C-alpha cells in the first residue's frame, strides 16, 4: 500500500513538515512578512515547483490538499480559480479532503466595526499591495501571485466551491477549532475555513 499523499499547495515561505508535500509556483526567495511590506528575504525551496492548475500527480492519487491563502492571489475573472479547483478535483482520491482557508473581508469588516481589530489588520486581510489601502506600498521583490487580486469571503468561496462539489461535500469550519495536522500557519478569527469531503 502506498503512503498517503498530502499537498500543501501555494505554500509560499511556509514549508509544512512531512508527510506534506510543499508546492508553489515561485521557487527561490520570499519576503518573510508580506503583510508588513517586509524587505527581509527568506530563501526557501518548495518540494515541487508547480502552479496550482497543473499539479504533477495522476488522477485520484492525492488524499489531502491544503489551500491556505491562495485563492485571493488568483484571477477570478479569467478562470484561474476555476482551473485550480478543476485540478484539485482531478487529483483528489475518493474520500479525500481539501481544506481551503483565506481572508474573509466580511468577517474582517465586522471585527473592525466591533473594534476587535485595527485598520492595519483590516488592510492585511484585504491585501496590502494596493486595493484601496492609502498606506500601501508595492512589495519589494514581489513575484507573480504575491498580491491579492480579489476580496474573498466565506460566502463567495462557498459559491465557487459549489460549482465543483455538492453542498453535502462542503463544511464551514471554525478556524480556531480545526484539528491539528493541517498546515494552518495562524488562526486569526478573520479567516474563512471550508472543508471539502469528496465522495
Kindly write down the DSSP assignment for every residue of 107-140, as one continuous string.
HHHHHHHTTSS-HHHHHHHH-SSSTT-TT--PPT
Structure confidence by residue, pLDDT tens digits, 132-182: 444 455 544 455 566 778 889 999 999 999 999 999 999 999 999 998 899
Model's pTM, two decimal places? 0.86
Structure confidence by residue, pLDDT tens digits, 55-97: 999 999 999 999 999 999 898 889 999 999 999 999 999 999 9
For the cut 60, the answer to whether the pLDDT of residue 131 exceeds it is no
Domains of the chain, CATH where assigned: 6-197 (3.40.50)
Amino acid at each position: 500500500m502506498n503512503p498517503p499523499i498530502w499537498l500543501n499547495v501555494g505554500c509560499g515561505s511556509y514549508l509544512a513538515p512531512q508527510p506534506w508535500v510543499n508546492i508553489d509556483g515561485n521557487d527561490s526567495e520570499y519576503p518573510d512578512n508580506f503583510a508588513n511590506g517586509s524587505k527581509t528575504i527568506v530563501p526557501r525551496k518548495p518540494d515541487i515547483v508547480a502552479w496550482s492548475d497543473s499539479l504533477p500527480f495522476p488522477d485520484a492519487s492525492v488524499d489531502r490538499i491544503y489551500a491556505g491563502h491562495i485563492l485571493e492571489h488568483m484571477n477570478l475573472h479569467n478562470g484561474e480559480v476555476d482551473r485550480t479547483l478543476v485540478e484539485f478535483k482531478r487529483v483528489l482520491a475518493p474520500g479525500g479532503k481539501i481544506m481551503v482557508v483565506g481572508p474573509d473581508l466580511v468577517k474582517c469588516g465586522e471585527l473592525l466595526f466591533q473594534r476587535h481589530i485595527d485598520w492595519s489588520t483590516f488592510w492585511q486581510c484585504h491585501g496590502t499591495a494596493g486595493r484601496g489601502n492609502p498606506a500601501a506600498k508595492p512589495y519589494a521583490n514581489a513575484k507573480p501571485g504575491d498580491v491579492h487580486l480579489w476580496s474573498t469571503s466565506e460566502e463567495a468561496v462557498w459559491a465557487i466551491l459549489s460549482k465543483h462539489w455538492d453542498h453535502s461535500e462542503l463544511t464551514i469550519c471554525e478556524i480556531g477549532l480545526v484539528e491539528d495536522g493541517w498546515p494552518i500557519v495562524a488562526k486569526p478569527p478573520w479567516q474563512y475555513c471550508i472543508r471539502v469531503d469528496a465522495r
